[in-house]
């Protein structure tokens, strides 16, 4: 996968994109990352990338020309014109795990990080997606882009040590992940549930599903409305509700 980032602050990406899982993906040639300062594409002699909005209003808007030319340049460099171009925007569609899974199937992603008051509306005509990290406003799109890149890249084949790890993640299954434990089995009186140490894999799988349902019910009940529950899940969920006095 190739990822391009268009930003006014490329140095923000120097550390995060070369460490941990992302850094290993780059070392394995599973990921090719390019970060460009779209100020370099401004035709203004002062390299200005923003201007006052027509009709008045507070703040400055990013101009269409630098971003347009930056996109054209990376398309020429990559030899492709079918990029998934993602505009980081508080008014965009909220980012979620399903979107990360969708992005992970693409060959080339481009993240456009905004600043100032907003965008010239014509910039939206250049992109395929307008995405928000959440219902709040950041000073720029850089942190949002890093988060989306991390969530996407970890889903690529061979990036994680065990490809099954991502499949069981919270939100990937539609439920929150069940509690997990490691050695020792007893630490200062805090014990691992016996079912996890008895070697009965059928009972372990049932316990994991039940606890996943419990955690989702207690923390994110809204997620259960979107999950197609099997008969077994309905039975276990009923047990959880009785145990929780609901």
Whether 117 sits among the annotated catalytic residues: the reply is: yes
Asked whether 146 and 133 are in contact (CB, 8 A), the reply is no
Whether 205 sits among the annotated catalytic residues: the reply is: no
- Active-site residue, from 16, 53, 90, 179: 90
Helices vs strands, H then E, count in the chain: 8, 10
**215 secondary structure, DSSP code:** H
- Active-site residue, from 89, 120, 129, 154: 154
Q: Which two tokens stand for residue 140?
A: 């720029």
Asked whether 7 and 142 are in contact (CB, 8 A), the reply is yes
Whether 154 sits among the annotated catalytic residues: the reply is: yes
Main-chain phi, psi angles of 160, to 5 degrees = -85, 155
**What are the CA-CA distances from residue 5 to residues 24, 25, 80 (Å)?**
19, 17, 16
Whether 239 sits among the annotated catalytic residues: the reply is: no
- Active-site residue, from 117, 150, 177, 206: 117
- Active-site residue, from 69, 169, 177, 206: 169
Q: Is 107 helix (H, G, I), strand (E, B) or coil?
A: coil
* CA gap 240, 62 in Å, rounded: 52
Q: Active-site positions?
A: 90, 117, 154, 169
């Amino acid at each position: 996968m190739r990822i391009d980032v268009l930003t006014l602050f490329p140095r923000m990406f120097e550390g995060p994109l070369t460490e941990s899982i992302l850094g290993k993906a780059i070392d394995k040639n599973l990921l090719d990352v390019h970060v460009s300062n779209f100020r370099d594409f401004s035709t203004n002699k002062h390299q200005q990338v923003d201007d006052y909005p027509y009709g008045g209003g507070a703040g400055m808007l990013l101009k269409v020309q630098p971003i347009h030319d930056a996109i054209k340049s990376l398309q020429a460099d990559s030899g492709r014109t079918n990029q998934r171009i993602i505009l980081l925007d508080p008014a965009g569609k909220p980012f979620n795990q399903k979107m990360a899974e969708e992005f992970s199937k693409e060959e080339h992603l481009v993240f456009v990080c905004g600043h100032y008051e907003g965008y010239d509306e014509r910039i939206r005509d250049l992109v395929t997606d307008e995405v928000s990290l959440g219902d709040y406003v950041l000073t720029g799109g850089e942190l949002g882009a890093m988060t989306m890149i991390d969530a996407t890249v970890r889903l690529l084949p061979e990036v994680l040590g065990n490809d099954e790890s991502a499949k069981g993640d919270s939100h990937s299954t539609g439920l929150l992940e069940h509690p997990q434990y490691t050695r020792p089995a007893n630490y200062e009186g805090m014990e691992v549930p016996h079912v996890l140490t008895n070697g009965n894999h059928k009972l372990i799988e049932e316990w994991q599903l039940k606890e996943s349902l419990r955690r989702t019910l207690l923390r994110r009940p809204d997620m259960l409305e979107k999950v197609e529950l099997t008969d077994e899940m309905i039975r276990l969920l009923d047990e959880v509700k009785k145990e929780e006095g609901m």
